[in-house]
Structure 1
Amino acid sequence: MTAPGTEQPLSVSVVIPCRGHAKELDACLRSLLQQDYSGSFEIIVVDSAADDAVLAAGGRYEQVHILRDPGGLLPGEARNLGASRSRARWLAFIDADCVAQADWLRELLRPLQQQMHLAAGAVGQARHWHPISVIDNMMQFAGQSPHQPAERHKIVASCNIAISRRDFEQVGGFPATQEACGEDVLFCYAVNRQWKDAIFFTPAACVAHQGRATWRSLWHHQFRFGQARGRLMLELTQAQRALGRHTWAIPAVMLRRLGWLAQRTFRNHPLEAAQLALFSPVLMVGLAAWSLGFRAGCRAETFNPVAYGDGKT
């Protein structure tokens, strides 16, 4: 890659939102600095909490720009800030707790060079046999398994995506929400409204995600995901949201989500199905947290869904 300040024009700006995760950030940065990519690119870390440990982790690499904001930016806000300070034609987004394969950037940009508007890569396991980490990742990224074929998707996670600066600005970046997650689904809604069949998933562009490693972090993380699903009306009808308010509906919500995960993992790869079965006690805890969060989100004041897609599309 090319260091900042050189004359070679930049082709890609890699934006990393980071709040904590200083140790994981170092591994992420090292994987980016070892990319097998012939073009020039910059790395922008948005330190959302002005964390000195994050500054130290990124500051040891002269190729890395660090933007600090003590206000505690949410992930979408951090990505927008990084994009606003970028200098390249393409924007690539990766999370601080992800490690990119050596050909990640090259493969992630390939669909954009073939006229797709949003490219997304696979999200694999960094801790292959850690029960909590595996389940946490499956519950988030079963739809972006490295074992899935390359195909068009409707919704993808923002920890592994790329888009042109022009298209990013045209859809208005990541929407502002009061939730710590779910902004990537709203972003995909905006992309899908702008262009038909615009999102392409390529498993060759793979990152390994750390996943949560403690019971406490798993519970809080999955609760927040369920809460965002209910409050932001993500792939949800008004009738489903009304049912989700009731405590008696929690077992049905858990069963439905379990069915989706089981179907997806069995379709992806036998190993994923085996892990889902082997770590089923952890899965039940994660499903309970998600479902309780979903109930809380359904009971909360609805975030204006009209601007970003209201319910199933």
Structure 2
Amino acid sequence: MISVIIPHLNQADQLEACLCSLDAQSLPRQLFNIVVVDNGSTAPPVDVIARHEGVRLLHEPRPGPGPARNTGAAAVRSEILAFIDADCRAHPDWLRSIHQALEAYPRGTILGGDVRIWGSDQRPLNAIAAYESVFAYRFKLYIEQHGYAGTGNMAMFRRDFEAVGPFAGIEVAEDMDWGRAARAAGFTFRYVEDMIVFHPARRSLQELYQKWDRQIVHYRNMADGKPRWRLRWIAQALVVFVSPAPGAITVLTSDRIKGVANRLKAIAVLCAVRMHRATTMLSVIRKGRTVSWNR
């Protein structure tokens, strides 16, 4: 049995699309259950849940998707836990791929899959979708080079989750933090190409900036207190400042985007985002900011 755990906060329309994608899974419905954990929405998604048979709605008052996922995991007894975000849509074979991969890999393996921008195979794309098709949700890179999987598309045996421990709160990037703890406990992350979920592109450059503002504060909180962290932080900001040049090469050679026009749009957004990231990193050296999600 697989339990699908979905943290939710003020995303009723996206949750509806997510649950519809889970209704369409090729894995037989009796082999999985779904738990939505609301994290303090203005209006809990009661009506959305009622339209989907067998979906359970829980509530977690502590802010952050990490605590919401912990509540969902604690409330189920399935052998396998699968995590997806409320604003994602699962490929029809998502759960089947998880089931097959966990049977194939050795014990102690944590799975992460591919996250694609919804509609990224269409042409032309708008500038934000073109950029995010290349640079957003690079789970293969996270897993193979940085040793952690994003929680928007991750699965594992329950016993392994319990051995590592719960996700952290909103103050840090809970996927990176949990990944470090998992590696320290001897677990291995595996990228599963056929384990696919889709995420809509953000609607504006401002939304992209907000996403990076949140991530930068997470990274600052995780770096704070380490030896010479401010010098390292400034050096990293300078690297980000000059990074559009190699980033443009990534755009031009990526197989996740097609067409000259789409690539030029992606490069334009790349330059804007990297400049914003560098200036924001320098602005938070003295004092961090409050972290929130979906507000």
Regarding TM over 0.5, the answer is: yes
Which consecutive unaligned segments of at least 5 residues does structure 1 have? 1-10, 302-313
Q: How high is the TM-score relative to the length of structure 1? A: 0.78
| In structure 2, distance between residues paired with 1:97 and 1:270 | 21
| In structure 2, distance between residues paired with 1:68 and 1:152 | 35
| In structure 1, distance between residues paired with 2:259 and 2:100 | 30
Q: How does 1:44-83 map to 2 (within 5 A)?
A: 44-52=35-43, 54-69=45-60, 71=61, 73-83=63-73
Q: SS at the partner of 1:36?
A: coil
| In structure 2, distance between residues paired with 1:276 and 1:227 | 29
- Structure-2 change in CA distance of 1:227 and 1:255 (3 Å): farther
Tell me, yes or no, if structure 1 residue 271 matches structure 2 residue 289: no
CA RMSD, 1 decimal: 3.1
Q: Could you tell which deviates more after superposition, 46-55 or 98-107?
A: 46-55
**Code of the aligned partner of 1:83:** A
Name 1:282's counterpart in structure 2.
269
Q: SS at the partner of 1:201?
A: strand
Tell me the CA shift for residue 34 of structure 1: 1.0
Name 2:131's counterpart in structure 1.
135
Q: Could you tell me which of 185, 192, 205 is aligned with 1:194?
A: 185
**Code of the aligned partner of 1:47:** D
**Code of the aligned partner of 1:48:** N
**Code of the aligned partner of 1:77:** P
**Code of the aligned partner of 1:93:** F
- Greater length-normalized contact order (CA 8 Å, ≥ 6 residues apart): 2
| In structure 2, distance between residues paired with 1:102 and 1:153 | 28
Query: Is the 1:226–1:292 Cα contact (8 Å) retained in structure 2?
Result: no
Tell me, yes or no, if structure 1 residue 112 matches structure 2 residue 102: yes
Name 1:219's counterpart in structure 2.
209
Q: Could you tell me which of 27, 31, 37 is aligned with 1:40?
A: 31
Q: How does 1:1-313 map to 2 (within 5 A)?
A: 11-38=1-28, 40-52=31-43, 54-69=45-60, 71=61, 73-113=63-103, 114-115=105-106, 116-128=108-120, 129-136=125-132, 138-144=134-140, 154-179=147-172, 182-195=173-186, 198-233=188-223, 238-239=227-228, 241-245=230-234, 250-256=237-243, 258=244, 261-262=247-248, 268-269=254-255, 271=257, 275-300=262-287
| In structure 2, distance between residues paired with 1:285 and 1:21 | 27
- Structure-2 change in CA distance of 1:151 and 1:263 (3 Å): same
**Code of the aligned partner of 2:93:** D
- Structure-2 change in CA distance of 1:297 and 1:14 (3 Å): farther
Which consecutive unaligned segments of at least 5 residues does structure 2 have? 289-295
Tell me the CA shift for residue 267 of structure 1: 6.0
Deviation readout 1:130-165 (Å, 9 max, x if unpaired): 3224434644323438xx9x9797122110000111
Q: SS at the partner of 1:190?
A: helix
Tell me the CA shift for residue 242 of structure 1: 1.9
Q: SS at the partner of 1:87?
A: coil
| In structure 2, distance between residues paired with 1:106 and 1:297 | 43
Q: Could you tell which deviates more after superposition, 13-22 or 211-220?
A: 211-220
